[in-house]
Amino acid sequence: MGYLVVGALIYAGLILPLPLLAVAWISSNRRPIELLVLTLSALLFLSGAVRSLKLILLGLDYSHRLFTTIGVNILVATVLGLYFAIRRRWIAAAILAVAWLMAAR
Confidence at residue 13, expressed as pLDDT on a 0 to 100 scale: 66
Query: Is residue 82 pLDDT above 80, yes or no?
Result: no
Kindly report, residue by residue over 49-72, the tens digit of the pLDDT: 788 888 887 778 788 888 888 888
Mean pLDDT, the chain, as a whole number? Answer: 77
Q: What is the 3-state secondary structure (H, E, C) of the chain?
A: CHHHHHHHHHHHHHHCHHHHHHHHHHCCCCCHHHHHHHHHHHHHHHHCCCHHHHHHHCCCCCCHHHHHHHHHHHHHHHHHHHHHHHCCCCHHHHHHHHHHHHHHC
Confidence at residue 19, expressed as pLDDT on a 0 to 100 scale: 77
